[in-house]
Each structure stands twice: as C-alpha cells, then as structure tokens.
Amino acid sequence: MEFLVALTPLAIFPAGTDTIFILCLIVLPALLVFFTAQYMMKQHIANSVQLVKTEILKTNLNTFTPLKLQAYERIALFLERTSIPALIQSYAQAGQSARGFAAAATHAIKEEYSYNVSQQIYVSTQMWTLVKAIKEQHIQLLQNISASLPAEATAADLSQKLIEYLQSMEVQPQDRGLEFMKNEIALTLGQ
C-alpha cells in the first residue's frame, strides 16, 4: 500500500504543487495526442476516399468514353443522312410530287431522330440542342419551300429549289453540327 501511495501524481511532484497544474500537465499532452491522432485519421480517410474516387473515375472513363464516341458517330450519321442532299438522293423519285417528296423526307428525318434520341445522354446539352435545331431547320426548309411551289410541282422542282437555297448558304447546317461535334470530341479527349 505504501508503494501505491508513492506512485500517486502528488508523490512525483514536489510538495505544494497545485493539483490543477498537475492535472494540466497530464491532460494537455493526452489531448494533444488525441487531436493529432484524430487529424491524422481524417487525413488518411480523405486520402483513401480520394484514391477510391480516382479509381472509379478511371474505370468509368474507360467504359464511358467508347460509348460517348459511338454516340458521336451515330449523331454524325444522323446529320449526314438527314442532310438535304442525302434526302434528295434517297427520297426524290421521278414523277413524284413535291409535297410527296417533302412528306417522305420529313418522315425520314423524324424516324432517324427518334432512332438516335437516346444518344443525347452521351453528348453535351449544347450538342444535342444543335442536333435538334438542325433537324427542325431541315424540316422547316422542306415544308416552306414545298409550300411555296405550285401544287403540280414535282420532286425534281423541289430538289432544284432546295439545292439553290443550300448554295446560297455560307455553311450547311449539317457541316455546322459536324464542326461543333469535332470541337466537342477534341475537348472530351483532351486534345
């Protein structure tokens, strides 16, 4: 029992030492160690979380990039297939009325669009907005020019007017879309 009395904190310090001072000498280093350990654990956990996030992003990038590039390919095909020259080549038939050609071409644009609408999740909002605007521009062009022609006008007449209108334009709508797409792909790939 005398041994335990000798080990009490008061036995280590000289007589007359204040109890609060002794407690501070014991508690302050313990608090310092506790807060240092807590800080180090937070740093370690934050670094571990950042490492896991980096690995997930790397894995997602390896999976997502090919899908995104496929979406750009499909949109490029959409822009090409719905261009006015491609529509003339594919849907204008000898002896067909201008309105019949316009209706067939409009239907083809809408079908192509609905087939590719899911690609919007892989491209930027600006890119998809441009794709929709080009689609609408082509439909409006077909409808406006066919409506301006006489009722007996043929697909050849409409085709001629469409080509004349396109030649008056500085940049074709689909070319504008493809240029925007190339820039967006370059940003995506970090070039």
Write the CA distances from 5 to 15, 22, 53, integer angstroms: 14, 16, 56
Write the CA distances from 54 to 43, 48, 50, 57, 67, integer angstroms: 16, 10, 6, 5, 20
Count of other CB atoms within 10 angstroms of residue 25: 13
Region 14-39: what's the mean pLDDT?
80
**161 or 26: which carries more pLDDT confidence?**
161
The model carries a pTM of 0.68
Region 85-113: what's the mean pLDDT?
93
* Average pLDDT of the residues of the chain: 87
The full length of the chain comes to 191
- Helix extents (H) in the chain: 2-6, 9-12, 19-81, 84-91, 98-116, 125-148, 155-168, 173-188
**144 or 24: which carries more pLDDT confidence?**
144
14 secondary structure, DSSP code = P
